[in-house]
Amino acid sequence: MSQSLTQVAERRSPATELATQAALIVGATLFVALCAHIYVPLPGTPVPLTVQNLAVLLVGLSFGSRRGFLAMALYLAEGASGLPVFSPTGQPGIAHLIGPTAGYLIAYPFVAALVGFIFERGKQTFARALVASLAGEILLFGGGISWLYVFTHSLSRAISLGLYWFIFGEIMKIMLAAGAVRSWRSLFRHNEQAN
**The predicted structure's pLDDT at residue 183:** 73
Distance CA 83, CA 100 (A): 19
pTM of the model: 0.86
d(CA 10, CA 150): 49
Per-residue pLDDT tens digits for 10-49:
566 788 888 888 999 999 999 999 999 999 988 888 999 9
pLDDT tens digit sequence for 125-159? 899 999 999 999 999 999 999 999 998 999 999 99
Q: Which residues pair with 189 in a beta bridge?
A: none
Share of the chain above pLDDT 90, in %: 64
- In whole angstroms, give the CA distance from residue 32 to residue 51: 8
Give yes or no for a contact between 136 and 107, defined as CB atoms under 8 angstroms apart. no
- DSSP tag of 195: -
Domain 38-43+50-185, CATH 1.10.1760.20 — does that match? yes
Rg (CA), the chain: 18
Q: Burial of 126 by CB count in 10 Å (0-12 exposed, 13-18 middle, 19+ buried)?
A: middle
User: CA 68, CA 109: separation in Å to the nearest integer?
Assistant: 7
Per-residue pLDDT for 89 more than 80? no
Q: Where are the domains of the chain?
A: 38-43+50-185
